[in-house]
Amino acid sequence: MMTNEEIEKIAKRVSELVLDGILQSDLVPFQDNDAEEAILLSQLAQTLTELDYNLANENYLICEALKDTIKDIETKLNKFK
């Protein structure tokens, strides 16, 4: 069984990787709006899951970063309305 410290390390690393992936995806132009929307929805779902996990574990600093990421993704998704 993993300790809370080990779980927190993994969660932090996953958060960093997700944020890096989101930033890198901003650099790659999309040719298909449906594909872009699907990727953004997938990123949103993953980030919301991470937010829920970190809230349950009271990792509030990570939650703040995730909330900012969620706002950015939602802003990008608004162009598809």
Using CA atoms, how far apart are residues 16 and 66, in angstroms rounded to an integer?
A: 10
Q: Is pLDDT above 70 for 17?
A: yes
Neighbours of 19 (CB within 10 A): 17
Q: Is residue 16 part of a domain?
A: no
Instruction: Let me know: does 49 contact 78? Beta carbons within 8 Å.
Output: no
> Is 2 a residue whose pLDDT tops 80?
no
For the question of whether the overall pTM of this predicted structure is more than 0.85, the answer is no
To the nearest 5 percent, what fractions of the chain are helix, strand and coil? 85, 0, 15
Query: How many domains does the chain fold into?
Result: 1
Domain range enclosing 42: 33-81
Query: In the structure, what pLDDT confidence band is assigned to residue 30 with cuts at 50, 70 and 90?
Result: low
Residues 45, 5 contacting (CB under 8 angstroms): no
Residue 22 lies in a domain: no
- Average pLDDT for 30-37: 73
Q: Is the pLDDT of residue 28 over 60?
A: no
